[in-house]
Amino acid sequence: MAARSALVGRYAEAAIDPADGASPALIVLLFDWSVEVNQKVVELTAHGDYWEYQVPTVAGWTFRAKGYVVPASASHYINNIWASGALPGGSGYVFIKGFSGSVASGTPIFAGHGVPLKGVLSVPMEMATQEFEIRGHGAPTIGV
User: CA of 52: how far to CAs of 41, 47, 59, 124, 137, in Å?
Assistant: 12, 10, 20, 47, 30
> Mean pLDDT over residues 95-115, rounded?
83
- Burial degree of 14 (CB within 10 A; 0-12, 13-18, 19+): buried
All residues at 6 or more sequence positions from 62 whose CB lies less than 8 Å from its CB, including other chains? 35, 36, 38, 117, 133, 134, 135, 136
Domains of the chain are 13-40+52-136 (2.40.30)
What global pTM score does this model have?
A: 0.80
For residue range 18-60, list pLDDT tens digits in order.
665 666 666 667 788 899 999 999 999 999 999 999 999 999 9
For residue range 55-82, list pLDDT tens digits in order.
999 999 999 988 888 776 666 777 777 7
For residue range 25-35, list pLDDT tens digits in order.
666 677 888 99
